[in-house]
Amino acid sequence: MGGRVLLGLVFLCSAAGKGRGGDAFRAFRESVGQLVPSLRRRARPLVGLTGVAVATVVAEALVVVLLALPGTSSAGFALAAALLTAFTAALAAALRRKLRATCRCFGGDAPIAPRHIVRNLLLLVVAGTALAVSGPGTGTSYSPSLLLAVGCGAVLALLTVKLDELADLFALSSTRREERTR
């Protein structure tokens, strides 16, 4: 249950951050073109960057719905794993090519960094593990541990969504320490 909450909240915040308004969506669409420059050429004849961006937000929202509905969590974990794999591959390729692209995962504007790949890989482990242990008969049993699982999933989702802000905070703290030691 903790994995469902974690992934559900992360994908909810991701879809909401990208789709919260016209400016946020346009910025996300442009970041897709930055992250995968070849997509600009390949996607234009088919659906364009807007179509790819819309499909991404819709797929993220679908993960949330599938994880929330009883009996569809396996499909939700599988879709989450597929999306995370694609996102991680795009980030890794952009970093390898030293592209100056922006991560708009949650509507922010942080430069892509290795931490984004680590974040996605950890989420991929959660999705894969949950998919492996979930089955068609796996439902939600209401036990005392349910509250703990939901709480842990929510806290981990918050930390995941605020990763860039936390990294900036620790970088600022480190800079201040260095200035004091001079």
Q: Are 95 and 115 in contact (CB under 8 A)?
A: no
Give the C-alpha separation, 30 to 139, whole Å.
40
- Domain boundaries in the chain? 2-181
Indicate the pTM of the whole model: 0.76
CA-CA-CA-CA dihedral for 66, 78, 44, 90, to nearest 10: 130
Contact predicate 85/121, CB 8 Å:
no
- pLDDT number for residue 114: 92
Instruction: Give the pLDDT confidence score for residue 42 in this predicted structure.
Output: 58
C-alpha R_g of the chain: 18
pLDDT tens across 144-166, in order?
676 677 778 788 888 888 888 88
Model confidence at 77: pLDDT above 90: yes
Which pLDDT value is given to residue 78? Answer: 95
**Mapping DSSP to helix (H, G, I), strand (E, B) and coil, where does residue 60 land?**
helix
> Is 49 in contact with 29 (CB distance < 8 Å)?
yes
Residue 57 reports pLDDT greater than 80: yes
Tell me which DSSP letter residue 98 carries: T
DSSP labels, 156-171: HHHHHHTHHHHHHHHH
Residue with tokens 């600009």: 40
Residue 41's pLDDT is what? 58
Nearest to 79 by CA among 91, 67, 97: 67
81-112 per-position pLDDT tens digit: 999 999 999 889 888 988 888 888 887 788 88
**Of residues 68, 70, 57, 66, the one with CA closest to residue 5:** 68
